[in-house]
Homo-oligomer: A and B are copies of this chain.
């Protein structure tokens, strides 16, 4: 039965069901929802308008937060001289194996190869050496919106691609404390973005020594849970200490006139966020996108088969669309489309906009006009409502608001249900033994990289983070490592991750 349903879903909508094959389902939603497409270059993707518009909303939301916290945007070259990468020892080890290298330009072999930026710390800190002299030049708070390239063997649309879009903040500070404050402030911006815009609950935490950024003092992360019970690292904020300042010899004269090395942070989120929100919210009918970042918040489908009726319903649809376009919700004009395609049936259009993730469908038929009403259909719940025409604007606002909040609550409940505390190795291995994700497991760990690696080797579960806060204060108390039995300071989160 489930199999028959799965087959008919694939046949009718072009989408594999989640139950049948989550990975296939994910690819189908991305492709059929026209969020992205494969490209002829292995591991690179094409971001189509319906996906790119989500990225633009993310960009605008974050950009405002960055400005409000004192940052400016700049742009640094895509090419980095190869020897720059090796100036910071941990950094080169982390990134060199994943680089794309330009060896020829203008028809000639280059004297020194150029690396296509995998991240811009090195070229930015080379510039900071020139720009920073005195404590009056600090803090220096820059951000860049750009493409980066990291050679990947196993890629997945949006979640792990060879080229991706991101923002990378790079800041310079006079003290350790200032840099620490910056790193946590930006982590807070990411949490706000994830929860209030993308409706994805995240856990803020510290990465382990083994999982931290190559060159960082320590790394903060936001981690989320997908519907197939895996973890996604959705954004990171690094306190880099003085490592890049030392590597690039960036000092400043402090108020006492002494020379000191500068403290640094860097932080970034990527187009991976788009894949994450698809994995968190979407269903077997296609993309479900939180209203605040949805390219199409409302789609109006005027109905009627003959020309006279069509003229009336199209006019009414346009009237409603104009009203909605001039209405703001959460500070932005509502994004509305009217689907006037003549050759397609209403059923085809309903499916099509469900695939693409329009949040609210408004149907206007000849009978609706007679009764001065319309039919609303919510994308996330599938709920249908008959709404008097006079209340269309008000009820649209209500539905967008309810959907935005509802998606977050649903995801929170899902995560809560799939987070457990485990105290024995037997139970731990049993949970992670099965194929695929197994939710978040809060367990004790002895704090050593050796144990962390061993657990990952045996179970494929990795430490996602050492959470900064706990739902249950007990989680912050000492215990015994789930694998070695040695002392543990507190529980950490294990999961299988993308």
Contact: A73 with B44, CB < 8 Å?
Answer: no
| A448-464 Cβ-contact flags toward B at 8 Å (1 or 0) | 00000000000000000
**The one of B49, B76, B101 that contacts A105, using a Cβ cutoff of 8 Å:** B101
**The one of B37, B46, B97 that contacts A107, using a Cβ cutoff of 8 Å:** B97
A72 interfacial by beta-carbon distance below 8 Å = yes
Provide the bound-state CA to CA distance between A152 and B105, in Å.
Answer: 9
Contact: B73 with A49, CB < 8 Å?
Answer: yes
Provide the bound-state CA to CA distance between A97 and B104, in Å.
Answer: 11
Provide the bound-state CA to CA distance between A206 and B16, in Å.
Answer: 52
Q: Which residues of B contact A165 (CB under 8 A)?
A: 75
Size category of the A interface is 35 or more
A19 interfacial by beta-carbon distance below 8 Å = no
* With contact pairs A41-B80, A136-B343, A149-B78 given, residues A105 and B114 touching in the complex (Cβ less than 8 Å): no
Q: CB within 8 Å of B: which of A126-154?
A: 126-127, 130, 136, 142, 146-147, 149, 151-153
Contact: A37 with B127, CB < 8 Å?
Answer: yes
Contact: B56 with A73, CB < 8 Å?
Answer: yes
A425 interfacial by beta-carbon distance below 8 Å = no
Q: How far is the CB of A61 from chain B (nearest CB, A)?
A: 16
- Complex A-B, nearest 10 residue pairs according to Cβ-Cβ distance, in ascending order: A106-B151, A49-B72, A44-B77, A47-B75, A101-B104, A105-B151, A100-B105, A103-B103, A41-B79, A39-B77
29 A-B residue pairs with CB within 8 Å: A39-B76, A40-B123, A41-B79, A41-B81, A41-B114, A46-B74, A46-B76, A47-B76, A48-B74, A49-B72, A49-B73, A49-B74, A52-B74, A52-B75, A53-B73, A75-B165, A77-B163, A78-B78, A78-B147, A78-B163, A97-B106, A98-B106, A99-B106, A100-B104, A101-B103, A101-B105, A105-B151, A105-B162, A146-B147
